[in-house]
Chains A and B, each alone.
Chain A
Amino acid sequence: MGQRVGIVGVGQTHHRSRRKDVNGIELINEAVQRALEETGLTRDDIDAVVIGNMDHFEGINYVDMWSVEGAGAIMKPIMKVTTGGTTGSSVAISAYHHVASGLFDVVLAIGWEKNSESDTTGGIITCSDPIWDRDYYAGAIPSLAVEASAYMKAYGVTEKDAARVSVRDRKNALRNPFAHLRREVTVEEVLSSPMLSYPIKLLDICPRTDGAAAVVFASESVAPKLTRQPAWVNATSVSHSYTYFGDIDYTSISSLEIASKDAYQQAGITDPFRQIDVIELYQPYSFAGLKWIEALGLCEPGEAPQLVWDGVTDLEGELPINPSGGVLSTNCIGATALLRVGEAALQIMGKAGERQVDAKVAVATGFGGCYWSDVMILGKEPR
């Protein structure tokens, strides 16, 4: 194991559907300035930068060069990470690796996306294999919808069960001043919203957002000097499994099962439901709030709907999920999984404002690629 690492600062933009008042570099800079203000650091205190987005979505390339002024990375080591939806969590884990290695004391992790300037669906389609997957692949929504169809068939789960997840996250977003979509919805409204790709309806799915996030990782010798309560990284796990969508078993999400088991072992978690206090789940659509919490071992397969209907995962419940409003409320792709890490860190640091819950152990996940998963566990105590 390397040196211990804590998150000491989180900065994020006020996320919106269109930020026409700034370009991408300026958007990144807003989040970076907020993270620096939060920690009292200056650009000179940053030893290295890790940045990620899906740069070809916006028709730019080589984001580490393109954004260097906004990122504050001039004349510093900088690394680009581009792993689809997992970009933000891969950025976070990479920044953690930088500090844990002992070679850097303070590393800035940045994720961002400007979806208003992006051909997102076209960009996502070009991530799939041009010969074997691209002709029929239609981007994010149907590739999630197929999973929902298999999950519903396997366990008798309904569209109404999934709608209850949307209701929860969209309500939580009212407490998050940074969230993009902040409107409460009912189960009936979710069920009657336009069908985009059966069984996914408009209110089941995440939006396209302009936004950026910046998270500061610091070594154990530096972190306590920068903040009263760092969010200590207790575990990280990367589970990037397949290339071809046809290889996936859509009745389970094995990458998340494997990554979470690995992370629990590192963090000494044997009973996830009892030992985890809050989860920021990378949940791009409502059904994931059911199936994927089963993969996290919170309950047996097929039992998640009851847990969610009983309010167990609500803000006031025993195990709150997505107090921030989650991905259903804000989805600036390269920032989305980094926001899960940042929001989980804010919960541990006691800085989550109106969305604060009582948390000693927080889990953040990332999802993307070809059903890939990342997991990071944060705690009040270092391990």
Chain B
Amino acid sequence: MSEKQELLVLKSKTTEMPYHWSVGREGAKFLQELRDNKKIFGMRCSKCGKVYVTPRRVCGPCFTPIKEWVELKAEGTLEAFSIVNYKFIDPNTGDIRPVPYTYGYIKLDGADSTLSHVVSITDSSKLRAGMRVKAVFNEERHGSLKDIKHFEPINGK
């Protein structure tokens, strides 16, 4: 048997992702408010009182339906973050995701869970868990979390 490396290449054509995901009624309202009014809404569980963002129809720990909407401030606290330095293919787009970027969990004022998003600065010496940040909206919005361009530090905090 030959020890020389030979590759069997299986070719495929470029394909679009054939998926159509439903966001649900609550998800739709959340995204519409974000797109049309630059507002971020959370939802409060009537049993444990926890305010979730992003929205959902059921509280996992309580297993209770959630109905109450709560408008949140577009600013909050960066609870945890990392600066992604390595390249990889983004399975959402098929392209290399641009790096470095700062990936963070932001607890918006009035919410109990955090929102995962990006932060505008990538210098670790200027980032710290606990810093205050605010949402910057895109001028053109299409009804996705990307309608928030990024979060940026609130000066002096």
Q: Which of A136, A139, A145, A200 contacts B116 (CB 8 A)?
A: A136
Contacts of B117 in A (CB 8 A): 136
Q: CB-CB contacts of A8-38 with B at 8 A, as 1s and 0s? A: 0000000000000000000000000000000
- Could you say which of B85, B145, B146 contacts A197, with CB atoms under 8 Å apart? B85
By beta carbon, the residue of chain A nearest B21 is A130
Give 1 or 0 for each of B100-137: 1 = CB within 8 Å of chain A CB. 01011100000001111110000010001110000000
A214 → chain B closest CB, angstroms: 28
B18 on the A face (CB < 8 A): no
The smallest beta-carbon distance between A30 and chain B, in angstroms, is 19
Interface size range of chain B in the complex: 35 or more
Contact A200 B113 (CB under 8 A): no
B65 close to chain A: CB less than 8 A: no
The reply to whether B54 and A244 contact each other, CB–CB distance below 8 Å, is: yes
| Nearest chain A CB to B3 CB, angstrom units | 10
- Cα–Cα distance between A134 and B128 once the two chains are bound (Å): 23
User: Does A133 contact B116, Cβ atoms closer than 8 Å?
Assistant: yes
Residue of A nearest to B131 (CB): A153
The answer to whether B82 touches A198 (Cβ under 8 A) is yes
Is residue A298 within 8 Å, beta carbon to beta carbon, of the partner chain? Answer: no
Residues in A neighbouring B85, C-beta threshold 8 A: 194-198
CB of A156 to closest CB in B, whole Å: 12
Q: Which of A80-88, A120-128, A358-366 contacts B (4 or more CB under 8 A)?
A: A120-128
Q: How far is the CB of B48 from chain A (nearest CB, A)?
A: 12
CB distance B103 to A138 under 8 Å? yes
**In-complex Cβ contact of B105 among A122, A139, A146, A196 (8 A):** A146
Q: Is the CB of A142 within 8 A of B88?
A: no
Q: How far in angstroms is the closest Cβ of chain A from B78?
A: 9
Q: Which residues of A contact B92 (CB under 8 A)?
A: 125, 130, 134-135
| Residues of B near any A CB (own CB < 8 A) | 19, 21, 23, 27, 52-54, 60, 79-86, 88-92, 97, 101, 103-105, 113-118, 124, 128-130, 144-146
Q: Which residues of A does B touch, CB under 8 Å?
A: 119, 121-123, 125-126, 130-139, 141-142, 145-150, 152-153, 194-200, 241-248, 250
Q: List 19 A-B contacts (CB under 8 A).
A: A122-B89, A122-B91, A123-B91, A125-B92, A130-B21, A131-B27, A132-B54, A132-B145, A136-B118, A138-B103, A141-B86, A147-B80, A197-B86, A198-B82, A198-B83, A246-B115, A247-B52, A247-B60, A247-B113
